[in-house]
Structure 1
Amino acid sequence: MKVIAWCALLGLLVSLSLIAAEAAPSSNIIMTKHNLSSLGSNTVKANTESQICVFCHTPHGSDNTQAVPLWNRQLNTGATYQVYTSSSLQSETVLAPGGASKLCLSCHDGTVAIGAVNVANGQLNPSIAMSGTQPDGTMPVGSGAQTGFTRRIGTNLTNDHPISFTFDTTLANADGELRDPASVSHIGTRGNGVYPQLPLDHEGKMQCTSCHDPHLYDPDDAKRKFLRANRLQKVTPAGGAFDANNDIICLGCHDKEGDAWSKSVHASSTTANYTYTDAAANQREFPLGTKVWQAGCLNCHDTHTVEGSRRLLREGTDSTASPKSGGNPAIEETCYQCHRELSNSVVQEAGIPDIRSDFTTKKYKMPITNSHQAEIEPHDIKDADFTEDPSRTGNGDLQKRHAECTDCHNPHRVMKAPLLNATAPGSQGTHTHSGSSTHTNIASGALKGSIGVEPVYSSKLFLSDPIAANNAISFIVKKGVPPAGGGTEVTQPYVTREYQVCMRCHSNYGFGTTPPSLGASTGAGKESAIGGTPVNTNGVTQLTNQAMEFQAPTDHRGYVDGTTIPTPTGWTAGNSRSWHPVMDKTGRTAGNIRSAARWYQPWKNIGNQTMYCTDCHGSDNTGTGSNTNPNGSAPSSGKPWGPHGSNNYFILRGVWSNPENSFGTDAICFKCHTTGYRTEPGAGSATGFWNPKDDKGKDDLHEHHSKVISTSNGNNLRCTYCHVAVPHGWKNRAFLVNLNDVGPEGGKTDGTSVSGSVFNYGPYYRNATLRIRTWDPSGSWRENSCGELGTNGSRGRSWMQSACK
């Protein structure tokens, strides 16, 4: 046995003499952490045993039950393992560890002492004395056994990369993002460190040894972790075939959809050029100065991550420890490593949007944490498109309502560009929103490759019950990777509009026949997906069906005179639907005499522009018009953009609550509409209420209307005297309520004239007063256009003034 020791010593001397000349990775266990002999310099080492190979191999008396040459370690045959599982894992079976993986775990699961071998120095089953181990001689726990910064993997493998499963063509085809192992070589060439494809074992199974070579030493990267290919990305990934010289090892098996990953905000060296702090780099065992694009997959994933995390997400639990130790799965915590206040970020430079602060410091926010959801992270995707069954968004079970970062964003595809089909990354990842731009509703790179739905309508009717047979709304699921320079038409199979992403949850696709209620509707202390806004705020008790509200029928666009469209039951001739142009433009220009001066930029292209849900919903700020960007900042500023959190109800950028009595610029309506709507208009700034022929331009209906609005009379939301309270879309034009014609949306039969001067019925009627006798053309309304029906019904100015008090 002394021969083995001398051979080891000789090998050490020879290896040391070659280190200076050998710059490529090679088999040189002497220089690695697997040199557990007393001759090594590692923390975990034998007290006196100088043999190196004995901790795994023996020339005599080896375990012949293992398919590994001359195996010498004892195995815990009674260990029970919890194996990795995921709804997006396409392998039919992930078995308990076997083959070479079981051998690796004989040290790394912490159940067998490192010094427990079969044969050493002529003795059977000796116990080699070790230092640097746990008191029982097992693998040390490092930062903690349940953290992602230990290599004491344990027997709970749910937070570790799956092993011991068959990796073949069938699996690759089922997954869609795996390289077909039958199409490339499995033989690694250790001499130059190049591995064309990570090797499977003799049964075609993925094992620990597919990624790790326990003998490998890299003189240029002491923290390589025995990986057969690069631990970090060397250049921006080109997409396509695996480049073993430059690509991170993960891409040896995972084919991330051509250039979708390479152009993503997490992989492109142009946009992911942020540097890890020294503390974060040291904790992750990255070289100092590592960039986000170099870390690549390892920014968000760790093959041996914190216990409790799903899909190998780094730091992906709700543990409050640092580093995280155990806990429940929490996707947002993975994102918060970078998307948070700079002082606690893992990167050094400013510019990454601080999303965490919106979620943690704003009063109203999406229910992204486990404490705000009825179940522990019900979000559960199926595939690379992040497809999720509607039952997970509450359709049939409101207890599963949730919001997660990956409900809206696909981190493997998200691109820093103002348009989803950009050919290259740019300086901003959100849509253009400026005075000089023609405003659209085309999705930005922030939503590239997300999943969404497009409503398909069988009726134009506006009903309170969106699932009624005569107003059925079906949906086309939009998913996939948009090609660079590809079409942005709404008919594309992939997401091209922001509203398509929003409507996955905010329509009957997401919640079925029962809209969620506001406030604590999904369990004690839990928030529904409406940001924690208290129930009955402004008369709203539950979510509305935005697929129904935003419908933009082609024959309701433009100037409608009563002969252009069919007149549905209960609608007065000359009327038509109205909508904010989220799904499509309104065409409301011809025949109108409204002035573009009534809107801030970029809203002056009346009738031909479209808009985003996030033009109204998002971080609160004090700007107006094109200055309603997050916190009044440009899209490239790195400020949060999107409906993450706000100090206003319903996650609105402006106020839509009792403080709106002041009708200041903080009111949500006046983020786009100028405050001219609340003051005396003056000659030449005509609206639909203004007719210079009446009263010689003085004391007209709009002037009176403005005075009523500005008068403090104890009521809330003066706009809703005449306009629908939830202004997404409405059954009448100009969002006008009509108490002479209340239908199912007000709990009545179509055509009902309700009694009283004020009508409240959530969510659409809030202190509603307006009664319309005739739907006159825009610009031609008179006093007698409004009032009670019938020959002797009250009407005109005096009626309006008394009704609004």
Structure 2
Amino acid sequence: MTQLYTTRRIILALFAVFLGIENAAAGALPSSRVSDIRNTKHNLSANPSDVSRNVQAGDNREICVFCHTPHAANPSQGPLWNRQLSSATYDTYNSGSLDATGDGVALDQPNGISKLCLSCHDGTIAVGSVRVLNGAWATGTIAMNGTNSDGTMPDGSVGAESGYTRRLGTDLTNDHPISFTYDTALAQRDGELRDPANEPHIGNRSPGNAPHVPLENDQVQCNSCHDPHIRDAGDPTKSIKFLRLNRFQKVSPSTDTFNEASDIICLACHDKAGWVGSAHATAEVANERYTSSAATLREFPAATEVWESACLACHDTHTVSGSRRLLRDGTDGPTGASGAKIGGSAAIEETCFACHSSDGGTLTSQGLNTEVPDIKTDFDLPFHMPIRNSEQVAGYEVHDIGTIGSDSQAVDQRGKDFIESQAMLGKGNPNNRHVECTDCHNPHRVVRRRLFNESNVGGVMDAAGTHDHWNTPHTNIASGVLRGAWGVEPVYASNDFNAGPTSFIVKRGDPGNSGSTAVSSPYMTREYQVCLKCHSSYAYDTPPMLGVSSVTTPQGVNHMVQYTDQAREYNSPDSHKGEFGSGGGGMGGGGMGGMGGGCSGGGMGADGGADPAFNDCNHRSWHPVMNDTGRTPSVRNASADTWTAPFNAAVGTQTMYCTDCHGSDTPPGTVDPDGQNNENGAAWGPHGSTNYFLLKGDWSGNAPGSPENDFTNRPGTGDDDSGGDTSDHLCFKCHEYEQYAATTGSTRASG
């Protein structure tokens, strides 16, 4: 008996030595981690532990046996593996921006060490099912407590379809990609992955080389991020999810170089362009705290702030079933009692609404009258961008960044800049037409600055990330909330009103700090560039019909049946700036002023353009969305007082935004939803409105829901058929109501 006892101790000692060697090969642990499986949830034995465990053996007190055996191990995998491997076929991760495979091609089946983890976590094999038990080489089953009735991994208290279960199932489309080759070629194709050849913390294990993010034969596996034996060095009860490096951000990042001591583990591989200094990454900006219930659900420490959660604010490496791109709770499924989504179909907006709403319950301060804009409220207005699956023509989330099409953009690094193919926008297939939050915003790059080329590095910030509407001459330069989004710039060959653009220049990439604001820059610099990628012939062959969604403008409004091409309508040639007449005195002078030489002699004809040379003599006019008009007060021989502030400050030389007209309702006399001294009220942007065409005020005197939605015989803007005050109509947000439409007043003006 003594000899048998001694032999067993020798075997266990040798086994411990082997595992120690294996652990050493994995690399010296960071000071915040310690190998102590006994005090982790991977201690499935009946032995007591310092951590609460839901799953444990009834009476078996062996700790290592659930995974390892010193004899008769499974020869197909190691080290000394004591379990069978699942024969399940998995649905693997896929997306248009997955550069480890071809466009739209899913990953291969899991392999290597990841199969070891899945032998418990896919729920196809009982947790207590081992090859060798009590020295007997025969499949045995250890009696377990806390498992499902068949002995497999439990669903968890929130449910197997949620993102808060560790029963991953065989559907891995909502789990971080595994079993793919991570090398220099992949890093170059992706554009936002660190090159493992240049990063000592990433690589294969070898004698004397112990990277903290180990690869297996150049492949990412579960153990690249997780070590099943470790816990937090200071507190065994702290939830580190067995991560080899930090689960949270310790200090706001100030450089793109990965810092193991302070950076979240995601940044060990992912080098997101524009993340450093972005709003979501900066402590002074994203300093809102999670509610106690939201922190508990996510297993975050109490009082965690958004910047500390960093990537985990929006992503979860094992997220809710149905979500895409690992978006946390990113589905349209029902919300359970815990606040978690339960299954459903992919819905990007739900991830954003968790914080950008007044009812998300995620942060202690969010929504209206806080620094976190309430966007969801606008999407609940009668007319809004058809952002939800049920509102889109396809009936599901079409949006897929990184997709490859017939455009001239490079095949590589499309996902980096959120590029979608024209076909995905609807060109050639109108059923693909859609809108999602990330069509207009890049959450890795947005900043709380007035201009898109500024940064929050060092905590520098403005009152908001929207443009300065009051304290500077008005422009069309993009603001911080649009930083790093992509758009298009139309190219024109003709100034004829019936001629559209001949091509488009795609504007993409992060501008960096203090980047040029020139419209010729390779990145997006103007708000209209974001709008025109959908609202022009870049995204369709024939303008789409009105009313294809119940939440957009119906057919028949203003006798319109389809949308128009804004890129064609906003062609603003320099040669058409200014005013007729050499002296700027209106239409009757001799010549065309800014037009140049084709129209001398006042040849407009008796009918104001019906002259044989009308194509030469008629010049275009426009709202200055793309270009200023050149029609200054001196050129027009007029006063600037016919405009409201701030549009009266630089008449003729200023530009404007699409969102000066489009967005939720604003008070009379202004396009600002909040007023001059309030940045935390209603949100800027064309998200939703109570008016047709997402306008900020009533247009043509006919409000939605009135008896005459076809606008037949309506008097027009400024008249409500009863002589009442119509100063809240759209045009008078910029044009002085008293000058144009007041029933009483000392002056009337036009132009």
* TM-score bin (small chain): 0.7 to 0.9
Tell me the equivalent position of 2:538: 509
Q: Once the 2 structures are TM-superposed, how far is the Cα of residue 27 of structure 1 from its aligned partner?
A: 1.0
1:165 aligns with 2:180: yes
Tell me the equivalent position of 2:35: 27
Q: 2:65 aligns with which of 19, 37, 54?
A: 54
Q: Once the 2 structures are TM-superposed, how far is the Cα of residue 125 of structure 1 from its aligned partner?
A: 1.1
Tell me the equivalent position of 1:461: 496
Query: What CA distance in whole angstroms lies between the structure 1 residues aligned with 2:748 and 2:619?
Result: 22
1:621 aligns with 2:666: yes
1:246-395 aligned at under 5 Å gives the runs 246-257=262-273, 260-322=274-336, 323-342=340-359, 344-348=361-365, 350-360=370-380, 362-375=381-394, 376-382=396-402, 383-395=415-427
Q: Once the 2 structures are TM-superposed, how far is the Cα of residue 347 of structure 1 from its aligned partner?
A: 4.0
Equivalent pair of 1:167/1:204 in contact (CA under 8 Å): yes
Query: What CA distance in whole angstroms lies between the structure 2 residues aligned with 1:573 and 1:481?
Result: 41
Equivalent pair of 2:204/2:215 in contact (CA under 8 Å): no
Tell me the equivalent position of 1:586: 629
Q: Aligned pair in 2 of structure 1 residues 474, 634: CA closer, same or farther (>3 Å)? A: farther
Query: What CA distance in whole angstroms lies between the structure 1 residues aligned with 2:266 and 2:311?
Result: 7
Equivalent pair of 1:45/1:130 in contact (CA under 8 Å): yes
Equivalent pair of 1:23/1:220 in contact (CA under 8 Å): no
Deviations 1:238-279 (A, max 9, x none): 23221000000000000112xx10211111111101100010
Equivalent pair of 1:619/1:630 in contact (CA under 8 Å): yes
What's the TM-score once normalised by structure 1's chain length?
A: 0.77
1:602 aligns with 2:665: no
1:117 aligns with 2:158: no
Choose 452-461 or 615-624, whichever is displaced more: 615-624
1:83 aligns with 2:92: yes
Tell me the equivalent position of 1:412: 444
Q: Once the 2 structures are TM-superposed, how far is the Cα of residue 185 of structure 1 from its aligned partner?
A: 2.3
Q: 1:496 aligns with which of 525, 532, 555?
A: 525
**What's the secondary structure of 1:358's corresponding residue?**
helix
Equivalent pair of 2:123/2:153 in contact (CA under 8 Å): yes
Q: 1:400 aligns with which of 429, 432, 437?
A: 432
Tell me the equivalent position of 1:241: 257
Query: What CA distance in whole angstroms lies between the structure 2 residues aligned with 1:280 and 1:196?
Result: 34
Q: Once the 2 structures are TM-superposed, how far is the Cα of residue 639 of structure 1 from its aligned partner?
A: 2.9
Tell me the equivalent position of 1:19: none
Deviations 1:579-602 (A, max 9, x none): 000101101024312211111100
Aligned residues: 651
Tell me the equivalent position of 1:793: none
Q: Which amino acid aligns with 2:438?
A: T
1:627-706 aligned at under 5 Å gives the runs 628-632=671-675, 634=677, 636-637=679-680, 639-657=682-700, 658-659=702-703, 660=717, 661-662=719-720, 664-675=726-737, 676-679=739-742, 687=749
Q: 1:138 aligns with which of 138, 149, 152?
A: 152
Equivalent pair of 2:213/2:225 in contact (CA under 8 Å): yes
Query: What CA distance in whole angstroms lies between the structure 2 residues aligned with 1:633 and 1:606?
Result: 20
Equivalent pair of 2:324/2:330 in contact (CA under 8 Å): yes
- Quote the RMSD (CA, aligned, Å): 2.5
Q: Once the 2 structures are TM-superposed, how far is the Cα of residue 75 of structure 1 from its aligned partner?
A: 1.9
Tell me the equivalent position of 1:149: 164
What's the TM-score once normalised by structure 2's chain length?
A: 0.83
Choose 671-680 or 380-389, whichever is displaced more: 671-680
Choose 417-426 or 368-377, whichever is displaced more: 417-426
**What's the secondary structure of 2:214's corresponding residue?**
coil
Q: Once the 2 structures are TM-superposed, how far is the Cα of residue 635 of structure 1 from its aligned partner?
A: 6.3
**What's the secondary structure of 2:641's corresponding residue?**
helix
**What's the secondary structure of 1:499's corresponding residue?**
helix
Q: 1:226 aligns with which of 220, 227, 242?
A: 242
Q: Once the 2 structures are TM-superposed, how far is the Cα of residue 632 of structure 1 from its aligned partner?
A: 3.9
Equivalent pair of 1:27/1:216 in contact (CA under 8 Å): yes
Query: What CA distance in whole angstroms lies between the structure 1 residues aligned with 2:678 and 2:266?
Result: 33
Choose 273-282 or 23-32, whichever is displaced more: 23-32
Q: Once the 2 structures are TM-superposed, how far is the Cα of residue 196 of structure 1 from its aligned partner?
A: 5.8
Deviations 1:608-661 (A, max 9, x none): 111000000011122313xx3125465631531100001011111111141543
Q: Once the 2 structures are TM-superposed, how far is the Cα of residue 195 of structure 1 from its aligned partner?
A: 8.3
Q: Aligned pair in 2 of structure 1 residues 482, 638: CA closer, same or farther (>3 Å)? A: farther
Q: Aligned pair in 2 of structure 1 residues 488, 298: CA closer, same or farther (>3 Å)? A: same
Query: What CA distance in whole angstroms lies between the structure 2 residues aligned with 1:413 and 1:135?
Result: 47
Query: What CA distance in whole angstroms lies between the structure 2 residues aligned with 1:5 and 1:384?
Result: 54
Query: What CA distance in whole angstroms lies between the structure 2 residues aligned with 1:188 and 1:214?
Result: 19
Tell me the equivalent position of 1:64: 75
Q: Once the 2 structures are TM-superposed, how far is the Cα of residue 345 of structure 1 from its aligned partner?
A: 3.7
Q: Which amino acid aligns with 1:90?
A: D
Equivalent pair of 1:431/1:443 in contact (CA under 8 Å): yes
Q: Which amino acid aligns with 1:677?
A: Y
Deviations 1:741-787 (A, max 9, x none): xxxxxxxxxxxxxxxxxxxxxxxxxxxxxxxxxxxxxxxxxxxxxxx
**What's the secondary structure of 1:126's corresponding residue?**
strand
Q: Once the 2 structures are TM-superposed, how far is the Cα of residue 343 of structure 1 from its aligned partner?
A: 6.4
**What's the secondary structure of 1:636's corresponding residue?**
coil
Query: What CA distance in whole angstroms lies between the structure 1 residues aligned with 2:387 and 2:352?
Result: 12
Q: 1:427 aligns with which of 463, 477, 481?
A: 463
Deviations 1:496-542 (A, max 9, x none): 00000000111111222x111111x2xxxx34xxx511111112211
Query: What CA distance in whole angstroms lies between the structure 1 residues aligned with 2:107 and 2:615?
Result: 64
Q: Once the 2 structures are TM-superposed, how far is the Cα of residue 682 of structure 1 from its aligned partner?
A: 7.2
Query: What CA distance in whole angstroms lies between the structure 1 residues aligned with 2:173 and 2:203?
Result: 28
Deviations 1:56-100 (A, max 9, x none): 01111111111x221101222x21111101110101272211111
Query: What CA distance in whole angstroms lies between the structure 1 residues aligned with 2:742 and 2:694?
Result: 28
Query: What CA distance in whole angstroms lies between the structure 2 residues aligned with 1:656 and 1:570?
Result: 34
1:533 aligns with 2:553: yes
Q: Once the 2 structures are TM-superposed, how far is the Cα of residue 324 of structure 1 from its aligned partner?
A: 1.2
Q: Aligned pair in 2 of structure 1 residues 229, 188: CA closer, same or farther (>3 Å)? A: farther
| Percent sequence identity over aligned pairs | 51
Query: What CA distance in whole angstroms lies between the structure 2 residues aligned with 1:420 and 1:72?
Result: 56
Query: What CA distance in whole angstroms lies between the structure 1 residues aligned with 2:639 and 2:676?
Result: 28
Equivalent pair of 2:673/2:681 in contact (CA under 8 Å): no
Query: What CA distance in whole angstroms lies between the structure 2 residues aligned with 1:227 and 1:392?
Result: 37
Equivalent pair of 2:450/2:467 in contact (CA under 8 Å): yes
Deviations 1:277-313 (A, max 9, x none): 0100110111111100000001111010011111111
Larger radius of gyration: 1
Choose 560-569 or 302-311, whichever is displaced more: 560-569
Q: Which amino acid aligns with 1:199?
A: P
Q: Which amino acid aligns with 2:82?
A: N
**What's the secondary structure of 1:199's corresponding residue?**
strand
Equivalent pair of 1:4/1:51 in contact (CA under 8 Å): no
